């Protein structure tokens, strides 16, 4: 299909039009709004056969998705920031009930102070909720992740909800060139939704979401652990199918010019793109540097990460979120993944871009300089005015 220009939100809406989910329930919140607006137009013009429910809150939006997915309907939603925080309680219900809901998250800072711009505090706050989390760097990836997400979530070995995260404004609102797939190819790739049990199967009544006491709760949580463990091979096999179709290859963690590098900086989302630019500049100056893009945060690909980072001299982990009183949320996970490595790189953490603060190439260059000169603290606050 031809290369076209769209912003990230429009690309998500396009993917949903092509997939034509049974139910979409959502509540508007910046910078996710374009997704629901655009999708509403598809509904208004009869381009989809979806039951579109405009909820009165995000809490209800996800609750509607839970009812819908439990009824054997392919279900999608989208939110951001406070909306995701408002869903917090029912995020856990959705994953515990093993409902393959697909949710686009337009990453935005959490209040307070109130701020509408990009950081990852919202989805990082949901890291323990039992949802799969994929992060996209640009419009193409936001679109591709959205297509793959349905296959991953609905896979019989998985049956878990999934967030496809895209940076607020930076990806959601920026027009970019990208290549969507033809409608019929999408339909074929995603396939029919096959549910396991449905509330609407009235001949086989099922009780969903029962009270779970001390004698079963733990086992049910462990079942989620096992499902999450089975997710990585599924993500890889879906990516393989997708590559056959499109030529676009997606790995859980994507290295950039890492083969002979001594130092690397690692990020999720759009900053991974800026990092590549910075690496190119430094390479032109003869510096042996590379970068790493983490696409999958949950489940956390520890083994793959250890393999990729082992032997490097220094790695900086960029966190667009903060756990006040500790560090960024990504950093301790990376550090923990490397604990068993024979040759551990020196690791440092850079908190950056909170509340949509721009991260400029020269700032990323300063991170590489810190790595190469061995300066910098364990946890650093990039670009903050003291």
Partner 1 sequence: MTVTNLKLISEREDRFVEGHRLCAGCAEPIIARQVLMATEKPIVVSNATGCFEVSTSNYPFTSWNVPWIHSAFENAAATISGVEAAYNALKRKGKIKEDIRFVTFGGDGATYDIGFQAISGAIERGHHFLYICLNNEAYMNTGIQRSGATSMGASTTTCPAGTCVPGKREFPKDLTKIIIAHDLPYAAQASPHNFKDLIEKAGKGFEANGPAFINVIAPCPRGWRFDSAKTIEISKLAVETCLWPLYEFENGKWQLTGDSRRIAEGGKKQLPITDWLKSQGRFSHLTKEKWAGVVVEIQKNVDKKWGELLKLCKQ
What residues make contact with partner 1 under the rule CB under 8 A?
22-23, 25, 49-51, 53-57, 59-61, 63-73, 75, 89-90, 93, 97, 199-202, 205-213, 216
Q: Which is nearer to partner 1, 208 or 341 (CB)?
A: 208
Omega cis (within 30) before 118 = no
Q: Measured from the CB of residue 10, what is the shortest distance to partner 1 in angstroms?
A: 23
Q: Residue 27 or 135: which CB sits closer to partner 1?
A: 27
We find the least distance from the C-beta atom of residue 53 to partner 1, in angstroms, to be 5
- β-sheet bridge partners, residue 315: 264, 347
Q: Rounded CA gap, 167 and 140, in Å?
A: 13
As a residue count, the chain comes to 386
CB of residue 211 vs partner 1: minimum separation in angstroms?
A: 4
**Nearest by Cα to 18 from 249, 190, 154:** 190
CB nearer partner 1, residue 26 or residue 170? 26
Taking the alpha carbons of 199, 200, 202, 204 in that order, is the dihedral positive or negative? negative
Minimum CB–partner distance for residue 46 and partner 1 (Å) = 12
Nearer to partner 1, 28 or 376 (CB): 28
Q: Measured from the CB of residue 246, what is the shortest distance to partner 1 in angstroms?
A: 28
Give which of 202, 96, 220, 109 is closest to 159, Cα–Cα.
Answer: 96
Q: Which is nearer to partner 1, 202 or 284 (CB)?
A: 202
**Nearer to partner 1 by C-beta: 210 or 247?**
210
**158, 196 contact by CB (below 8 A):** no
Rounded CA-CA distance 158/172 in Å is: 28
* Lateral strand order in the sheet of 263-267: 253-256, 289-294, 263-267, 314-319, 346-351, 379-381
User: Cα(262)–Cα(267) distance, rounded to whole angstroms?
Assistant: 17
Question: Packing angle between helix 271-284 and helix 361-373, nearest 10 degrees?
Answer: 60
The nearest distance, CB 192 to partner 1, in angstroms, is 10
- For residue 364, the minimal CB distance to partner 1 (Å) is 42
Q: CB-based contacts of 213: which residues, under 8 Å, 6+ apart?
A: none
Q: Closer to partner 1 at the Cβ: 71 or 107?
A: 71
Q: Which two tokens stand for residue 294?
A: 């983490």
> Which residue lies nearer to partner 1 by CB, 207 or 373?
207
Cβ 189 to partner 1 shortest distance, Å: 20
Q: How far is the CB of 190 from partner 1 (least distance, A)?
A: 15
Closest to partner 1 by CB, 104 or 382? 104
Angle at 104 between CA 102 and CA 107, to 5 degrees: 145
Q: Measured in whole angstroms, how far is the alpha carbon of residue 68 from the centre of its chain? A: 22
313 CB-near residues (< 8 Å, 6+ apart): 262, 263, 345, 346, 371
Burial environment of residue 302 by CB neighbours within 10 A (0 to 12, 13 to 18, 19 or more): middle
């Amino acid at each position: 299909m031809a290369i076209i220009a769209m912003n990230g939100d429009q690309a998500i809406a396009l993917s949903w039009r092509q997939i034509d989910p049974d139910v979409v329930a959502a509540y508007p919140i910046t910078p996710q709004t374009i997704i629901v607006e655009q999708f509403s137009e598809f509904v208004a013009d009869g381009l989809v056969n979806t039951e579109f429910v405009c909820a009165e809150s995000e809490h209800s939006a996800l609750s509607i998705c839970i009812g819908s997915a439990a009824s054997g309907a392919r279900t999608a939603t989208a939110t951001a920031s406070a909306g995701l925080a408002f869903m917090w309680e029912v995020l856990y219900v959705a994953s515990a009930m093993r409902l393959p809901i697909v949710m686009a998250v337009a990453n935005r800072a959490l209040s307070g102070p109130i701020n509408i711009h990009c950081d990852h505090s919202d989805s990082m706050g949901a890291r323990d909720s039992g949802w799969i989390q994929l992060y996209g760097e640009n419009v193409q990836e936001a679109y591709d992740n959205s297509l793959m997400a349905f296959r991953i979530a609905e896979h019989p070995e998985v049956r878990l909800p999934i967030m496809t995260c895209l940076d607020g404004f930076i990806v959601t609102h920026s027009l970019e060139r990208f290549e969507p797939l033809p409608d019929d190819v999408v339909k074929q790739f995603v396939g029919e939704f096959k549910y396991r049990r449905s509330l609407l199967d009235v001949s086989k009544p099922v009780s969903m979401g029962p009270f779970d006491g001390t004698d079963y709760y733990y086992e049910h949580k462990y079942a989620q652990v096992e499902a999450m463990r089975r997710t990585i091979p599924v993500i890889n096999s879906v990516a393989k199918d997708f590559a056959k179709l499109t030529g676009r290859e997606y790995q859980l963690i994507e290295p950039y010019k890492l083969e002979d590098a001594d130092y690397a900086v690692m990020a999720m989302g759009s900053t991974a793109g800026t990092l590549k630019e910075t690496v190119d500049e430094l390479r032109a100056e003869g510096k042996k540097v590379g970068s790493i893009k983490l696409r999958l945060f949950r489940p956390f690909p520890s083994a793959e990460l250890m393999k990729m980072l082992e032997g490097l001299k220094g790695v900086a982990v960029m966190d667009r979120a903060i756990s006040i009183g500790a560090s960024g949320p990504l950093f301790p996970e990376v550090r923990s993944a490397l604990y068993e490595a024979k040759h551990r790189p020196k690791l440092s953490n850079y908190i950056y871009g909170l509340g949509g603060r721009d991260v400029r190439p020269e700032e990323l260059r300063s991170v590489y300089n810190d790595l190469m000169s061995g300066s910098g603290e364990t946890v650093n606050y990039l670009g903050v005015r003291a």
